[in-house]
Structure 1
Amino acid sequence: MQELLDNLVKINLPLTHKGKVANYIPALARADIDNLGVCVIDMSGNSYASGDYRTLFTIQSISKTISFMLALLDTGEEKVFTKVGMEATGDRFNSIYKLETADVSKPLNPMINAGAIAVCSLIKGRNGEEKFERLLNLFKKITGNKELKVNEEVYRSERETGNKNRAMAYLLKDMGILEENPEEILNVYFKQCSIEVSCVDIAKIGLLLANEGRLPFTGEEIASKRIARIIKTFMVTCGMYDASGEFAIEVGIPAKSGVGGGIMASVPHKMGIGAYGPSLDNKGNSVGAWGILEGLSAELNLSIF
C-alpha cells in the first residue's frame, strides 16, 4: 500500500498545474498549488500516508456530511427532509436560481450550499455559538483530534465575501425554511467550513462512515447505520458537485470534496481515505486528489458498483 500511495502522489503531482486554487475566498488563494497528499486508514487500524498529508487545509464542503449527520441526530429524518430534499441538482454547488422556481419549495439536497445552510438551522443550540460548539465537538470525537479549530483568517474571509451565501440564507428565511436569524445561521456555516484539518482527519471521517456510523476501534456508535447510509448515498449522488456522476463512473467510491482542496472518501466496510491538493478543476474538485482516488480505486478494485 505504501508503495502504491507514493507512486500515485508522484504520478498525479503534475496534474496540479492543470487547475487553479480557489480565489473567490481570498484567504484560500495563497495555498501552495504543488501540495498533494493522501492518507488511507483501514478497518484494522492500519494507516498509510504519502506526500503532503500533514498539511492543514480548511475542510469547506466536506463539513456538510457531519453537520447533516448532527441535524439528523438532533431533529430526526422526517423533520430534516421537510427543510431539504434528496435529489441531485446538476448545477453549481453555489447556485441559487432553482430556489426561485415555482416547483421548488426547499433546497434540493444537503450537499449544495443552500441545503447546507438550511441544515445548520436544524442543529440544536440556544444560539449560533452553541450550535457550532456542538458541531466542532462532534468533529473532534470522530477524528480523535482535540486540537481541531477554526482558521480565523479563512472564517473572516468567508464572512466578508460570502454575499451569495448570505443571499441564499435570506431567501431561505423568506421561504420559511430558516426559522432563525439568517446571520446567526450563516455564522455557523462559515465557521464549519473554516475548520482546519489534514488528510488524516478526513480519512477518519470516511472510516466512520465506512463502518456504518461506529468508531472502528472502540465500537462506539456515533450515528445509526441508517444515517451513515443516507450520508454515503448523498456523497455518491451529490458529493462531487456537478461532477458526481462522472466521479461515480470513473472512481465509484462515495466521496465529498471541498474547495479547500480536500476529498474525503469512504469505502464501505474497508477504509476511509483523505486526499488533498488545492489545485481545483472548473467544478471545484481537486485535480490531484481526484487522480489519486481514481488510481487507488483502479488498483484495489474499490468501486462499489
Structure 2
Amino acid sequence: MMDTDTASSKALKRGEAAAELLGDGHPRIALVASDTHRAQTARGALLDQHNWCKLEDARVAVVLGGDGFMLQTLHSMLDAGRIIPAYGINLGTVGFLMNPFEETMSVLDRLSRTKAKRIAPLRIKAITQDGAMHELRAINEVSLLRETRQTAKIEVTVGPRVRIKELVGDGVLVATPAGSTAYNLSANGPILPLDSQLLALTPISPFRPRRWRGAILPDRMRIKLRVLDPKKRPVSAVADQKEVRDIAELTIDVAHETELELLFDPGQSLEDRIVSEQFVVD
C-alpha cells in the first residue's frame, strides 16, 4: 500500500494551495539538490531558511536541479513506496517540471502559494530474451530502441488486438501527457493535454508501415510490444533513466494508484506549459 499522507492527499485532490498541507509551526520539508555546482550553491543559500528534514520524514520535498534530477527524485519516492508533493526549482536547462529560481526567494512563502498537479506514471513489465522479468516505472515515456545497426521489428498490440503485425524502424515509444513534450515530441509525436487521460504511441524513424505516424490511445488500454527476431535484431527498453537490454516483450499500462504530485507557482502550471509548447515556432 502506498504510504501517502492523508491530509496532503485531500488538499491536493481539491487543488488547494500547499499551505493546506504544510500545517502550522514547523512543517516537515526536505531540501534535496543535484550534485551540479549551481544546485549545490543554491542549496547552501537556502540552508538557513528552514529547519530542513530528511526526505523520508518530510511532507513536502523541495528539489533543486533540472528535469532529470526531478525525475530521479520522483523515482526514488516510487521505489520507497512513499509519495509526497514535490516543488522543483530549476537549476538545470529546460526545467519543464520545475519553477524558476529567484535569488531572493523565500521558499516557504512560495510554497504557501503553490497549486498541485497529479500525474500518473507508466507501469511496465519487461521480459528479456532469457526469460527474466523486470518491473519498471516511467513518468515521461518508455521506449524500445534497436541495439545494433539492424532495424527493429516489433509487433504492436493495443487492448485485445494486434494492431500492427510488424513495425520496422529504429523503435517505438509510449509517452504520458507529462512526457509528451520530451522525446515523444522530438520523434514527431503529439503533445497531449495533461488532463486528457491519453497516451501517445509513437514510432521512432519508422520504415514500415510507411504511412503510420503513431496513435493517441485512452490511458485505460494496455499496450504490448513484442520484439520479432530478437537474436538477430536485439532491442533495449528505456524507462525514463533506466535501461534494460535484450528485450523480448513489454507490457505497459498506467499506474493510477500511484499518482505523483508536483507543485507549481501561480502562472507556472504544467498544463499551461504543455499548451504553450503547441504554439512554439522556431
TM tier, smaller: under 0.3
Which structure has greater strand proportion? 2
Which structure has greater helix proportion? 1
